Structure 1
Amino acid sequence: MTAADRTLDEFADVRAGDKGDTLIVGVFPRRAEDFALLVESLTPERVAAHYGALVTGEVRRTALENLPALVFELPGVLGGGVTGSPVLDGHGKTLGYHLLTLAV
């Protein structure tokens, strides 16, 4: 396995939720020493590109060093939110797990 074959799933867990049509994804490294790698690899631009056309605005990232965790806000990804979206994943739980496929 090369470094290019390694995905976020090998380093972290995610939890997802919603706020309107914005997907909120928390990324939690399994080992504290991997936090620096995630900070370097998971830029807002890379995360936005990973979700592609679903993102309708600027992706924001907040680093919570004391946890450690990264929190991403992805506007528009939920297509109207829980009450306005016709999709089955209105809360974004499955879409949160999609981030685990990103190469790091």
Structure 2
Amino acid sequence: MNVWIAIGLTVVGCYAVKLAGLLVPAAALQRPLVSRMSALLPVALLAALTAQQTFSTGHELVLDARAAGLAAAGLALVLRAPFLVVVAVAVLVTAGVRALGW
């Protein structure tokens, strides 16, 4: 029964967030600060998620093969490689570092 209560609260919370977004006045969304923040917020969230997934396992900070793959992907991006090449480089470097046992 507790699981269904959690599901119900989650549904209500998601609906409330959607409703709150729809109720924001258009004038508030057209302000320059809000426009800049809405353009940069997805990038910041993606960077935070990438860092969290790369440098942590559970409750510990780690520096392992994933960090090498991320660094290689960053280098590929600096060199203006296409997206699929960036992903392939990250995968290959991560697999290579893990194969070497580092």
Q: Same fold (TM over 0.5)?
A: no
**Structure 1 or 2: more helix by fraction:** 2
**Structure 1 or 2: more strand by fraction:** 1
Relative CO higher for 1 or 2, CA cutoff 8 Å, sep ≥ 6? 1
TM class, shorter-length:
under 0.3
Q: TM-score, normalised by structure 2?
A: 0.25
**Larger-Rg structure:** 2
Q: TM-score, normalised by structure 1?
A: 0.25
